[in-house]
Structure 1
Amino acid sequence: MAVNNSGRWIKRAFYSQHAAPYVFISPFVITFLLFQLYPIISSVIMSFQEIIPGETKFIGLKNYQDLNNEHFFKAIWNSLRYTFWSLVVLLPFPMLLAVFLNSTNMVAKNFFRSTLFMPALTSIIVGGAIFRLVFGTLETAPANVFLSLFGFESVKWTSSAGAGMFIMVALASWRWMGVNLIYFLSGLQSIPQELYEAAEMDGANRFTQFFRITLPLLKPVTVYVLTISIFGGFAMFTESFVFWNTQSPSDIGLTIVGYLYQQSFEFFNMGFGSAIGIAFLFIVLSINILQLLITGQFRKENE
């Protein structure tokens, strides 16, 4: 009898309209607490500690004071440059490609969509290995052979700041172009076709329709892509790692996440690495809040 009562209670709890929402959101809440909130709290605590094998002690703000060094500032500068150039490529070009692929006059649309999205399904390590071969330092590297056809000298791609930044942005653009393209395509397909038909009847050409209809109605998607691209730019690690690991000449490939990895897992300075992570969190959070303010996403829409 007790077993039957407990079974009825469990069944009643799962079928209850009051309990059902909590049951459905519990996987997310548990995952968030274990894998996001707990690591953040632990990192904050560790950033005030000196952690060595077998000993942990609080050292106050020393880890944050140690951030005042040339390697950290170089990592910030590299991350800023990388984020800027990746935004220059990965915002306008996927948008324009999406406009062309969304056109009724475009042929083989599904083929081009699949082709552009396929790099996102490829391992970044595999892609990085291919890019290392293409942009090699030898004169026989494919990129240098291509330059020689136009009379340019060979470039040591992984030895200079400008060339190193170019190959990192090129690798990121190759991989993420198709992803942003899908975002913009979904936004374009949600725009009512009647707006374009009405504009065409009023004499608006393609350019006018793009700037007066497409761009304004794509603003929510654009802001979303901008937000995740800013975070992705600052969180970049693998693109740099496949070219230099964590030791690049004159820190030309050092990023904030790369510096965090270097200090935490190569030098085993977990406390200092945690301080880098907290600083990284505030930098990205501040920049994204700023761009959301600039784009007006915090303003209440008038009804």
Structure 2
Amino acid sequence: MTAGRRLSGGVRGGRVSWHAGISLLVLVCAGILARRHWPVIEEGVGRLAVADRGWLLVATAATIATWACSALAQQGAVTRPLPAGRLVAVQFAASAANHVLPAGLGAGAVNLRFLTRCGLPVTRSATALAVKACAGTAVRGCLIGGLALACPGALRLPQVPATARTATVWAVAAVVAAVAAALLAGPLRRALRCVLLDVRAVHEVPARAAALWGGSLAFAALHAAVVIAVTQAIDLPLPPARVALAYLAASSAAVLLPTPGGLGSLDAALALALTLAGAPAGAAASTVLGYRLLTVWLPLLPGLVALGLLIRRRVL
């Protein structure tokens, strides 16, 4: 038993160290890029300082609403009712924890603890988180597909050499093959079966299914609305649909780099996506800064305080 605990602790420690190393590397690269393009960032800060306050208030309201939508989606992922007020507070705290630990580990740990505190078994709580994540991924894919059809030519990729494209295709194929092989393995196959059983149980209750999919859709749409509102505040001449598509594509790509809250990876991807969509570099930097200010830096300290209070009151 002791050896098993040591092995488990070593595996978890190895994973955390691996994530921390990748996160540190991405942050260092982001810092180097920021130093090289500091005039653009300075111009972006200047644009944001004189932005329209009304649109910034709209962006703030959309940010606050994302926590309620996340709570709605989490409620939809389980069949038993959860305390609504505490659930929203937990999502607020989880968003802060997510910006401290890499690859969504913070939010996942907070929600897992809350669900187990509500009486769900650990396995059932973990599958509830997986159901919510799968619904969010599916919704983002549908939104990207719909917006790409509505805005043909908006997703323009930067020119890369043919050898790089070939290497990328082979790398993606290798990842898909590795994922497929992992899913066919015994433990993961059983875990996938549990997730599918939970998905079926949730969809047998129409109200829960509506909460799951409606909350997931609203969560993604509201984050896109925050970016749109910031672009309107700085008078960025881009159609809202293109801005939403740029954000959804960038945030989906940033998931591949496990940094805390997408810090660095999402910033670079969103700035690149907005620039490719036709935004000037300074305006793209202003949009990224405004989005990060509203969704990360302003709520971070209150979120961590809320996390501490929830732990103190044994909600977590």
TM-score (norm: length of structure 1): 0.35
Bigger helix fraction: 2
* RCO higher in structure (CA 8 A, sep ≥6): 2
Which one has the largest radius of gyration? 1
